[in-house]
C-alpha cells in the first residue's frame, strides 16, 4: 500500500506512524524502516568515523550478490571509516555486523547467541571485491579476524531482536561496553521512539549520560 504524505512524521525521513509503532509497542517486531531510520541517525552523529548501512544493503548482498550493491554510494571512501555497521535480517531475526577497519576485524552480534559465519564471510568477500574495484590492489583477507561477539547481551524472548540490534549499533558506534540487558529493553523502545521522532540521538559521542534537550 502506498503511504500518504500525511503519514510521515519526520521531515526528510521515510518513517511514518506505523514504523514508529513497531518500536513503541511492547514486544512488537521492529520493521525495516524503523531500523534504517535509527541507523541513519547513528551514521549522522559521527560521519567521519562511522558509516551505518540501512537494512536493505545486506538483503541485496546476500540474495543478489556483489553486483547488486556495487554502485552503493558513500559520503566518502568506505575504507576511510573506523567502523561500519550492517544490520542483518535473516529467518525473521535481526542481528548486526560491525566492521572494525583499525582492528581488521568483523564481528557478528546476535542477541539469541546464534552463530553465522556465512554472514561475516560474506561481508569479508564484499570488502575484498570493493577494495579491488576501488584500487585494483589485492585485499589481504588473511589479515582479518572474524568473530562471533561474546559480549553481545542476550534476549530472553522472540520479539526484541530489532531493539537489541539498534542499541548494539548505537553503543558500538560510541565505543562503549554493551552493558545492558533484557530488563532495559522497554526503556530502550521508548528512547528509540523519541530519538527517531526528534531526529537526534540522546547520547553524543562523549556522553555516558543522555544530553539534555531542554
Long-range CB contacts for residues 23-30, cutoff 8 Å, separation at least 24: 23/162, 23/163, 23/189, 23/192, 23/193, 23/196, 24/189, 24/190, 24/193, 26/186, 26/189, 27/157, 27/159, 27/160, 28/159, 29/92, 29/159, 29/162, 30/94, 30/162, 30/163, 30/165, 30/166
67 is catalytic: no
93 is catalytic: yes
Report in angstroms the alpha-carbon separations of 159 from 22, 32, 100.
11, 14, 28
Q: Which is catalytic among the residues 16, 110, 160, 166? A: 110
- Please, what is the Cα angle at 40 between 129 and 205, to 5 degrees? 100
Q: Which is catalytic among the residues 98, 119, 152, 161? A: 161
110 is catalytic: yes
Q: Which is catalytic among the residues 82, 93, 148, 184? A: 93
Q: Which positions are catalytic? A: 93, 110, 161
Amino acid at each position: 500500500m502506498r503511504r500518504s504524505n500525511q503519514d510521515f512524521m519526520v521531515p526528510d525521513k521515510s518513517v511514518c506512524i506505523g514504523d514508529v509503532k513497531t518500536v513503541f509497542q511492547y514486544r512488537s517486531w521492529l520493521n525495516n524502516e524503523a531500523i534504517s531510520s535509527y541507523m541513519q541517525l547513528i551514521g549522522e552523529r559521527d560521519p567521519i568515523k562511522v558509516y551505518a548501512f540501512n537494512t536493505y544493503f545486506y538483503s541485496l548482498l546476500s540474495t543478489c550478490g556483489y553486483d547488486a550493491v556495487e554502485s552503493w554510494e558513500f559520503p566518502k571512501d568506505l575504507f576511510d571509516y573506523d567502523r561500519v555497521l550492517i544490520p542483518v535480517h535473516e529467518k525473521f531475526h535481526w542481528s548486526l555486523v560491525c566492521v572494525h577497519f583499525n582492528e581488521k576485524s568483523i564481528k557478528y552480534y546476535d542477541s539469541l547467541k546464534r552463530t553465522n559465519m556465512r554472514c561475516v564471510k560474506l561481508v569479508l568477500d564484499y570488502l575484498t571485491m570493493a577494495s579491488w574495484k576501488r584500487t585494483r590492489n589485492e585485499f589481504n583477507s588473511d589479515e582479518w579476524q572474524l568473530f562471533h561477539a561474546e559480549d553481545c547481551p542476550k534476549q530472553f524472548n522472540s520479539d526484541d531482536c530489532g531493539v537489541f540490534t539498534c542499541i548494539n549499533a548505537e553503543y558500538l558506534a560510541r565505543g562503549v561496553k554493551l552493558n545492558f540487558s533484557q530488563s532495559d529493553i522497554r526503556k530502550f523502545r521508548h528512547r528509540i521512539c523519541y530519538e527517531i521522532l526528534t531526529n537526534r540521538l540522546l547520547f553524543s559521542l562523549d556522553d555516558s549520560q543522555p544530553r539534555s534537550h531542554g
